[in-house]
Amino acid sequence: MNEFVKPVVDYFELSPLLIVFFAACLGVVVEAFVPRAHRYLVQTLLTVGALVGALVMLVLVAREVPSYADGQARGILAMSGTLALDGPTLFLWGLILVLAILGALLFAERHLDGGVSAFAGQAAALPGTDAERTASTRGLDHTEVYPLLLFAVFGMLLFPASNDLLTMFVALEILSLPLYLLTGLARRRRLLSQEAALKYFLLGAFSSGFFLYGAALIYGFSGSMQFSQISEAVRNDVDNRVMLLVGLGLLAVGLLFKVGAVPFQAWTPDVYQGAPTPVTAFMSAGTKVAAFGAILRLFYVAFGADRWSWQPMLWIIAILTMVLGAVLALTQTDIKRLLAYSSVAHTGFILTGVLGVQASGDLSNGEISSLQAVLFYLATYGLMTLGAFAVVGLVRDSAGEATTLSRWAGLGKEAPVVAGVFAFFLLAMAGIPLTSGFVGKWAVFSVALAAGAWPVVVAAIASSIIAVYLYVRVIVLMYFDEPIGEGPSVVRPSVLTATAIAVGAAATLMLGVLPGPLLDLAARAGEFIR
């Protein structure tokens, strides 16, 4: 029996994680002790303050991180090797925290729906009953959403940093459970929202079951949960290949479900449509960033030596995801479902980047590594999706948000600025030059091409063309079609939503015109530590 060794906690390096976690716990205490009238202000300040604080600490940590082992990568293994704080982790943490701050601003928006937030006044009151009407006339608000947001952010920070399978599973659940609840808390169209929560929960729990069984099989194969030791076993062990392959496949199911890749995309449109729009905005951006961080670490660090087992599988999934996402998006009549399928297509593009495995040693001058391309794409995708969903929240009629696509006809005349910003986000998603989407696509295509995955790149270009048609159709609808009957109106948002949209749009423009600094930052992030 091994001697028990007290784990060392690197408080300084882990401080972004710890700040978010303690703020979440404090948020629960606030719910219990602060009078209802003050909770909104206290919770908003606590949430945004904690996230900004975590971001500041992250910058300080990133400046201090020592180089690791052979000097190729920078980072430390924290908590007895269960967390890897390396360059890519810190980059993703920064991205997740920025997205979370913008998401928290959207959560706090109260101007759009006559002085109340987008969340149910009293989730326990049944839709259409007196209790619900009382709750809404009293102007009740669920301020529990802020601690839930922080717990989800904590899970998202933990997910790409986890360096063993058990931590990864726990992080997956910490990230998912608050999101299931948030999905079901919409103020308007509560039946849809509850149904979305049920579907998300059942399918999410199902897929995490697959992830866990995969983890069990890989543990059985290698005798350890640590990625470095799994990698060792993959290199040396020739027995039990079946167990390795089945375990790898099951782990992939769990992770690909979270990013919404094609055989596992069924939940995406339903959940994106049913969830309150601020939640959709935050979740679509944050979950994808965190889950791709985890996918990269799992496949590159633990199974990097066995690349030929998983690459063909990812080839097929990437092609299916891009093509089906783009084609199904064409058939949608609801703007939130359309954006959901477009995010499925983006998952495929990011997977294309994951396929281009290259060590930074093999690169000639000016080439970018696949890790760098994927990190950059995640940044562009997260900011433009969050911005686009924030705009969707502004277009409303008497029944709440007007998400039916035909109702958006003629919006360009009604509200030129909002329609213009939305059109800009759509062009970025289509990958038009001078937007961040173009640079992101160019980066992932070029790394996939360098790794010889040309069939995937051909499929990616084909589905990009389909997607351009899709987005241009929406723009034509907004600017050149006559409105049908009484069109929806664009509500003037408070400074909170305006900030989120402005940051999203500015980042999308800046990263398109001047991608250098962020690409440099992604390059400086270096490699995963092993």
Partner 1 sequence: MNEYVVLSSILFTIGCVGVLTRRNAIVVFMCVELMLNACNLAFVAFARQHGNLDGQIAAFFVMVVAAAEVVIGLAIIMTIFRTRRSASVDDASLLKY
Instruction: Give me the residue label for tokens 């303050």.
Output: 49
Nearer to partner 1, 198 or 305 (CB): 198
Nearer to partner 1, 109 or 144 (CB): 144
Distance separating alpha carbons of residues 100 and 48, to the nearest angstrom: 9
Instruction: Give me the residue label for tokens 């398109």.
Output: 512
Burial of 309 (0-12, 13-18, 19+ CB in 10 A): middle
Burial of 504 (0-12, 13-18, 19+ CB in 10 A): buried
Indicate whether 219 belongs to the interface with partner 1 (CB under 8 A): yes
DSSP β-ladder status, 67-68 and 395-397: unpaired
Nearer to partner 1, 243 or 472 (CB): 243
Torsion of CA 119, 121, 123, 128, to 10 degrees: -110
Indicate whether 196 belongs to the interface with partner 1 (CB under 8 A): yes
Q: Is 345 left (phi over 0), alpha (psi -120 to 50) or beta?
A: alpha
Q: Which of 7, 127, 416, 517 binds partner 1 (CB under 8 A)?
A: 127
Q: Are 271 and 353 a contacting pair, CB within 8 Å? A: no
CB of 408 to partner 1, least distance (A): 18
Q: Which of 273, 342, 372, 464 binds partner 1 (CB under 8 A)?
A: 273
Bridge partner residues of 118 (DSSP):
none
Nearer to partner 1, 161 or 196 (CB): 196
Indicate whether 171 belongs to the interface with partner 1 (CB under 8 A): no
According to CB under 8 A, which residues from 64 to 103 bind partner 1?
none
Q: Which of 34, 140, 166, 498 binds partner 1 (CB under 8 A)?
A: 166
Indicate whether 192 belongs to the interface with partner 1 (CB under 8 A): yes
Q: Which of 163, 194, 265, 343 binds partner 1 (CB under 8 A)?
A: 194
Q: Which of 29, 41, 126, 242 binds partner 1 (CB under 8 A)?
A: 126
Indicate whether 170 belongs to the interface with partner 1 (CB under 8 A): yes
Nearer to partner 1, 15 or 229 (CB): 229
Distance separating alpha carbons of residues 318 and 353, to the nearest angstrom: 10
Indicate whether 123 belongs to the interface with partner 1 (CB under 8 A): yes
Indicate whether 269 belongs to the interface with partner 1 (CB under 8 A): yes
Distance separating alpha carbons of residues 192 and 498, to the nearest angstrom: 27
Q: Give, to the nearest 10 degrees, the angle between helix 370-392 and helix 516-525.
A: 130
Give me the residues that bind partner 1 (CB under 8 A), please: 123-124, 126-127, 166, 169-170, 173, 177, 180-181, 184, 190-192, 194-199, 201-202, 205-206, 209-210, 212-213, 215-217, 219-220, 223-225, 269-270, 273-274, 331-332, 337
